[in-house]
Structure 1
Amino acid sequence: MYLRLLGTATSQGVPVIGCHCAACDSPDPRDKRQRTSAVLCAGEARLNIDAGPDFRHQMLDAGIERLDAILLTHEHNDHTAGIDDVRPFCFMQQMDMPVYCLDRVARELRERFAYAFTNYPGVPKLDVRTVNFGDRIEFGGRPVELLRVNHGKLPILGFRVGGLAYLTDVKTLPPETLARLADLDTLVISCLNHHGTHSHLSLEETLAYVDQLRPRRAVLFHLSHRLGPHAEFSASLPPGVEVGYDGMQLPV
Structure 2
Amino acid sequence: MKITFLGTGTSQGIPVIGSKHPVCLSKNSKDKRLRSSILIEKNKTNFLIDCGPDFRYQMLRSNYKKLNAIFITHEHQDHIGGLDDIRPMNYNMNKPIPIYGLRRVIENLKKRFFYIFSENKKSNVSKVSVHELDNYTKFFFVENYKIFPLSIWHGHLPILGFRIENFAYITDASSVPIQTIQELKGINILVLNILRQIEKNTFPFMLSETLNIIQKIRPLKTYLTHISHTFGFHEEIEKKLPKNVYLAYDRLIICE
**5 Å matches for 1:144-163?**
144-163=147-166
Aligned counterparts of 2:90 and 2:167: Cα–Cα separation in 1: 29
How does the TM-score come out when normalised to structure 1?
Answer: 0.93
C-alpha contact (below 8 Å) 1:106/1:130 kept by paired residues:
yes
Q: Which residue of the partner structure matches residue 92 of structure 2?
A: 92
Q: Secondary structure at the match of 1:208?
A: helix
Match of 1:126 among 128, 143, 165: 128
Deviations 1:45-103 (A, max 9, x none): 11111111000001111110111111111100000011000111112211111101110
Match of 1:224 among 225, 228, 238: 228
C-alpha contact (below 8 Å) 2:15/2:25 kept by paired residues:
yes
C-alpha contact (below 8 Å) 1:194/1:204 kept by paired residues:
no
Aligned counterparts of 2:131 and 2:69: Cα–Cα separation in 1: 10
Q: Secondary structure at the match of 1:123?
A: coil
How does the TM-score come out when normalised to structure 2?
Answer: 0.92
Q: CA offset at residue 239 of structure 1?
A: 1.6
Match of 2:168 among 151, 165, 175: 165
Aligned counterparts of 2:11 and 2:241: Cα–Cα separation in 1: 23
Q: CA offset at residue 192 of structure 1?
A: 5.3
Structure 1 residues not aligned, in runs of 5+: none
| 2:248 corresponds to 1:247 | no
Aligned counterparts of 1:193 and 1:105: Cα–Cα separation in 2: 22
**5 Å matches for 1:44-55?**
44-55=44-55
Task: Point out the more displaced range, 212-221 or 5-14.
Answer: 212-221
Residue 149 of structure 2 aligns with an amino acid whose one-letter code is L
Q: Which residue of the partner structure matches residue 20 of structure 1?
A: 20
Q: Quote the RMSD (CA, aligned, Å).
A: 1.8
Structure 2 residues not aligned, in runs of 5+: none
C-alpha contact (below 8 Å) 1:147/1:159 kept by paired residues:
yes
- Amino-acid identity (%): 38
Deviation beyond 6 Å, 4+ runs, structure 1: none
Aligned counterparts of 2:52 and 2:197: Cα–Cα separation in 1: 24
